[in-house]
């Protein structure tokens, strides 16, 4: 899903650039709104990935590492 959103974002940015060159303001306004929405989705996705990553690190450090040490030490 994240890759799909990024591709859509890039397409909209190119589209906006074309509208601005041609001076098509109404179309540019709609595209800007779509870009803002996609940017928000990307930001939420990034925060979700960061939260999941922190959780994985916590599990590794506080649960898995001590278990591994116990297993290795016998």
17-54 as b/e: b if 16+ CB within 10 A = eebeeeeeeeebeebeebbeebeebeeeeeeeeeeeee
Number of Cβ within a 10 Å radius of residue 12: 20
Q: Are 43 and 5 in contact (CB under 8 A)?
A: no
pTM of the model: 0.76
pLDDT at position 2 is 86
Q: Where are the domains of the chain?
A: 2-73
pLDDT, tens only, 22-67? 887 888 999 999 999 999 999 999 999 999 999 999 999 999 999 9
- Per DSSP (E only), the strands in 26-68 are none
């Amino acid at each position: 899903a994240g890759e799909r959103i990024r591709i859509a974002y890039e397409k909209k940015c190119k589209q906006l650039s074309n509208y601005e060159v041609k001076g098509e303001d109404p179309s540019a306004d709609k595209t800007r709104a779509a870009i803002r929405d996609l940017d928000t989705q990307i930001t939420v996705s990034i925060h979700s990935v960061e939260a999941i990553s922190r959780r994985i690190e916590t599990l590794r450090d506080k649960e898995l590492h001590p278990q591994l040490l116990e297993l290795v030490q016998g």
